[in-house]
């Protein structure tokens, strides 16, 4: 059985809509790109076996991609993988660090093997788009915009956003 992907945004649509009405930051661009991203992701389907725990277990590794200010996720090659040293790019290193804290919380406090309790690898995308004022989870990846530096700043810098 196949399911449509979800896409959970950190900044709620009504906040972006109010910012757009007030002509603040790049809210209109973020709304437009969020719609495009949701449409693209909804066209991809995922097997229910993945969510039912039938898929083979992973290792719960962290893999970070730099979107290079494009609107694409997983722009190759990965810029940091599990066990790699810090890169010096704050967005890359914070996303990696905070994803590790979240994974450790799941393991130590909730007794879960990664997010899905089957060792799901944690895929992180930073520097998504241009002045993108949001972060989202699409069922496979966490993706972080850098913000417009007017209303929002880099979303990967926040443990709350990564954990959300």
pLDDT digits (tens, 9 = 90+) for 48-90: 444 444 555 678 999 999 999 999 999 999 999 999 999 999 9
Domains of the chain and CATH, by start: 2-163 (3.10.170.10)
The reported pTM is 0.79
Statement: residue 35 has pLDDT above 90: no
Split at pLDDT 50, 70, 90, the class of 11 is confident
Tell me the pairing of strands 8-9 and 62-66. Answer: unpaired
Residues 6+ apart with CB under 8 A from 119: 57, 58, 59, 60, 113
């Amino acid at each position: 059985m196949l399911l449509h992907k979800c896409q959970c945004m950190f900044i709620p649509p009504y906040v972006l809509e109010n910012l757009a009405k007030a002509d603040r930051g790049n809210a209109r661009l973020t709304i437009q790109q969020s719609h495009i991203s949701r449409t693209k992701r909804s066209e991809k389907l995922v097997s229910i076996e993945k969510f039912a725990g039938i898929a083979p277990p992973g290792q719960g590794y962290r893999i970070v991609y730099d979107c290079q200010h494009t609107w694409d996720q997983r722009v190759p090659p990965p810029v940091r993988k599990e066990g790699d040293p810090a890169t010096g790019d704050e967005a890359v290193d914070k996303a990696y660090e905070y994803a590790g804290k979240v994974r450790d919380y799941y393991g130590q406090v909730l007794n879960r093997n990664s997010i899905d309790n089957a060792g799901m690898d944690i895929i992180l995308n930073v520097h998504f788009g241009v002045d993108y004022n949001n972060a989202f989870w699409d069922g496979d990846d966490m993706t972080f915009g850098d913000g417009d530096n007017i209303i929002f700043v880099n979303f990967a810098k926040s443990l709350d956003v990564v954990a959300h």
